[in-house]
Amino acid sequence: MPQIALVTGTSSGMGLHTAVGLAGRGITVIATLRDPARADALLAAAAAAGVRLDIRALDVTDHAGAARCVDEVLHTYGRLDILINNAGRGSVGSLEQLSMDDLRAQLEVNYLGVAALTKLALTPMRLAGSGRIVTVTSVGGAVGQPFADAYCGAKFAVEGLMQSLAPVVANFGIGVSVVEPGAVASDFVASVAGVLTPHDEPAVPQTSDDDPYAGMLQSYLAHSRTAFAAAQSAADAAAVIIEAATTATPRFRWQTSPGAGAFAGMSLADLDGAKVLAQTRTWVHSD
């Protein structure tokens, strides 16, 4: 009997390739996205791969809708074996430039939406005595970056949640992992290179010549454009997500490329924070 996987944020990029790739392994995939009208690319990729997907609408910030979605999956298939929390949003702005609504929006998508859906998946997985939960975070979940205050704050939060949850639910046969991509090529990159995330396009704050942040923001955006010029493909990043979800030897933390591994590792080994700040300060030189 095939495993059942629920994947969020599948309209493009890593989510699309993850859904199609899991289906290619014989897993029954419920591919969710906020707007089913945006499923053309997903359907085309599935057809090209010769796989079928169960495509459903899901906005991860709609917790009641998430509960209905999980209930429908359990009613249709009887269980849920794999949850891939991929849906997310980017944000560009330093704290003084951000509103409280900006901060809340990042938490709603990148933290609370993930927490709510994971909570829903835990009960059937615990009762079954098995399951795999994989959350796509970012190198921004390990390394704070200039003008990514809200985004990195939410990603740090979700990594803390998952790392705290992992040893507890392991006693029920449930594996919990985070996947940390670096720069990943996507529609986001084509429009604005803002923060190191493959997710939805963030709005870049409007600045003026007398804005104290203007020079630093332009320096940061120039750095990001350089980073994304050598971005990893979404398909290659998705291959790591699929491995994390299906491997017989799971681990908690995965990076999707050697560059992402080196960058995240710098922070994880940086006990006094000096190495990270020394590097990220060079991103925001202001003339």
Residue numbers annotated as active site: 151
User: What is the rounded CA–CA span in Å between residue 139 and residue 260?
Assistant: 6
Characterize the bridge pairing of strands 131-136 and 54-57. Answer: unpaired
Tokens of residue 17, six digits: 């390739």
Distance of CA 246 to the CA centre of its chain: 18
Q: How far apart are the first and last CA of the chain?
A: 62
Q: Please choose, from the candidates 76, 180, 169, the residue with its C-alpha nearest in 3D space to the C-alpha of residue 118.
A: 169
Tokens representing 156? 């740090």
What are the CA-CA distances from residue 87 to residues 83, 119, 205, 209, 211 (Å)? 12, 16, 23, 35, 33
| Helix H or strand E segment including 188 | helix 187-191
Q: CA angle at residue 232 from 227 to 238, to 5 degrees?
A: 140
